[in-house]
Amino acid sequence: MATQGDDKTADVVVRGDARSFRQQIVAGKHHLLADEPVSAGGDDSGPDPYDYLLTALGACTSMTIGLYARRKQMPLENITVSLWHSRIYANDCEECETKEGMLDRIELEVELTGSLNAEQHAKLMEIAAKCPVHRTLTSEINIRLRPSQKSSAPQASL
């Protein structure tokens, strides 16, 4: 497993061959693949990175709704979260702070089944927007990029 500077084991490790888009992902004991569709030059051997982003948000949304419903003993039976990613012109988004250029839009559609009353349904929809991944994606994110000490990068000459 790759390590961070403080010898902490990485949460996720992604390895790729520079000659293709195919990536091998290790997340704990889970092994996944990522790729690009054929139309983008990949082999379509796995979801693309945006599919994984949507997967994370959809899974977290569903888990958060389910956890809340169980804790409150609501008669929720099934949760289906459908997601779409697109790029839109900022000036087409009335509720967005950014007004110039392009921005990313993620749409979530949540279907809840069970004998919920209107108040319970409304509360679960409110809870859906409070999942940790949703909160992460809508807050400031600080990403620190650094080369691995194992990299075979050329040494700078003085």
Confidence of residue 11 (pLDDT cuts 50, 70, 90): very high
pTM: 0.85
Number of Cβ within a 10 Å radius of residue 36 = 19
Which residue, among 61, 76, 49, 141, has the nearest Cα to 108 in the 3D structure?
61
Number of Cβ within a 10 Å radius of residue 28 = 9
In a 13 Å sphere around the CA of 151, the CA atoms on its Cβ side amount to: 7
Check: CB of residue 105 under 8 Å from CB of residue 93: yes
Condensed to tens digits (0 to 9), the pLDDT of residues 69-113 reads 999 999 999 999 999 999 888 888 888 878 888 888 999 999 999
